[in-house]
Amino acid sequence: MASTPRSRRLRPSSTRNTELTSRRVDEGVTRYYRLYELLSAALQDGTIAPESALPSEPELSTRHGMSRTTVRRALDRLERERRIVRRRGSGTYARQRRTVPRFCVELHALPGILAALESRSTTTTLRFDPAPVPQNLRPMAAAIGPTAYVLERLRFTDSQPLSLTTAYLPETVASRLRRPIPRRASVMTILGRLGCPTTAIRCIVGAVPADAAAARALDVPLGSPLLRVRAVLTGDAGEPWVVLESLCRSDRLQLKVLERG
């Protein structure tokens, strides 16, 4: 069992909070909350591994110099959040927290890696028509211009949504694309078949809260974390084939990249 490292001992914090509703934490943090915070971080980063035992109540109480009642309060909260299980007569154990995503897209292994994703999932086309390119994508591919053909698709597997991709294709490319839009092929694969092979991708990856459309499509609560990939796919001469934004459920789709030094 991994013991709680010394670093997690309680320390006064001097953080200020800026977000509207967050509580002030300077002096106001109760002892129970600090212990809760430490254990919570240890569970999150795996210092206390899934299925492994937490230190016992007397141990926590001694180590952090707090009463059994305070220790219990912190554990109660973690139990309510379903992050630990208490087994009578045995102890307290960490629950498996992160679900292992079903798909792993290794960006450095494109396009080969897409074959696995394409064979095990399908898409629904939500729209394919001319539309303005959103402000936040324009600087990524200025050559596409302010209007393009938008291809919006929802990808899912076993009726579970994985990702919502909005691709903006220049008219020269979009005019080669015929309906019906292939159900399995990714945008990159479709482009290849249209005679627009991708030789380079620039992408920006981050996290965003789900907005109304994404929350509905991906079946998650409003504001919950989604992985966002914005990418430009270019051809041999550096011409942009497409600029796209993909919102992915991080619990179902994993994204990796390997860089060689």
Site residues for other proteins, window 191-250 (CB under 8 A)? 192, 197-217, 219-228, 250
Site residue total, other proteins (CB under 8 A): 91
Of 125, 232, 241, nearest to 184 (Cα)? Answer: 125
User: Positive or negative, the Cα torsion across 69, 75, 78, 82?
Assistant: negative
Who's near 219: CB < 8 A, 6+ residues apart? 160, 161
Work out whether 68 is an interface residue with other proteins (CB under 8 A): no
Work out whether 52 is an interface residue with other proteins (CB under 8 A): yes
3-state secondary structure at position 169? strand
Residue with tokens 């060689």: 260
Work out whether 11 is an interface residue with other proteins (CB under 8 A): yes
Subset of residues 173 to 192 that bind other proteins, contact rule: CB under 8 A: 189, 192
From CA 238, how far away is CA 141, in angstroms rounded? 10
In the bound state with other proteins, the residue whose beta carbon lies nearer, of 89 and 261, is 261
Query: Position 232: which residue type?
Result: V
Residue 111 tokens, joined: 């396009």
User: Positive or negative, the Cα torsion across 118, 123, 125, 130?
Assistant: negative
Work out whether 148 is an interface residue with other proteins (CB under 8 A): no
CB of 87 to other proteins, least distance (A): 19
Residue 214 tokens, joined: 């994404």
From CA 214, how far away is CA 224, in angstroms rounded? 10
Q: Candidates 66, 141, 144, 154: give the one binding other proteins (CB under 8 A).
A: 154
Work out whether 256 is an interface residue with other proteins (CB under 8 A): yes
In the bound state with other proteins, the residue whose beta carbon lies nearer, of 212 and 237, is 212
Work out whether 110 is an interface residue with other proteins (CB under 8 A): yes
Work out whether 40 is an interface residue with other proteins (CB under 8 A): yes
In the bound state with other proteins, the residue whose beta carbon lies nearer, of 47 and 88, is 47
Residue 256 tokens, joined: 């990796």
In the bound state with other proteins, the residue whose beta carbon lies nearer, of 120 and 216, is 216
CB of 214 to other proteins, least distance (A): 7
CB of 32 to other proteins, least distance (A): 12
In the bound state with other proteins, the residue whose beta carbon lies nearer, of 65 and 209, is 209
CB of 88 to other proteins, least distance (A): 25
CB of 164 to other proteins, least distance (A): 7
Distance of alpha carbon 26 from the chain centroid = 30
Contacts with other proteins, 71-100, as mask; x by CB under 8 A? ------------------------------
3-state secondary structure at position 92? strand
Residue 204 tokens, joined: 């920006």
Of 71, 85, 84, 78, nearest to 32 (Cα)? Answer: 71
Q: Candidates 10, 37, 79, 177: give the one binding other proteins (CB under 8 A).
A: 37
